[in-house]
Copies of this chain bind each other. A is one copy, B any other.
Amino acid sequence: MNEAARGIGDNHVDRESLKGLVERIESLETEKAAVGDDIKEVYGEAKGKGYDVKTLRRIVALRKIDKDRRRMEEEMLETYLAALGML
């Protein structure tokens, strides 16, 4: 059994290990939030330059769909090859 996987009444999780994990997650969450703020800033800057933010968001979303499509096509190819026993 793992160090952390214990049953009821045996809840001696490794404090240090747990602490490390939580801190890493929180650090990453902070980073993620910061990047999110950066994105908001860019939209704000665009707005300041007179761009329509809603349109800008749609452009970004549309380009994302394109990217997803391309990614999906890659996967399709893999799937086809696999289905045909060519992988």
Contacts and interface: CB of A to CB of B under 8 A. Distances in A.
Interface in A51-87: 51-52, 54-56, 58-66, 68-69, 72-73, 75-76, 79-80, 83-86
A16 B7 CA distance: 49
A34 to B, nearest CB: 9
Query: For the complex, would chain A's binding face be called helix, strand, loop or mixed by DSSP majority?
Result: helix
B76 A59 contact: yes
- Using C-beta atoms within 8 Å of the partner chain, give the interface range for chain A: 35 or more
B28 A38 contact: yes
Contacts of A69: 62, 65-66, 69
A49 B2 contact: yes
Contacts of A22: 56, 59-60, 63
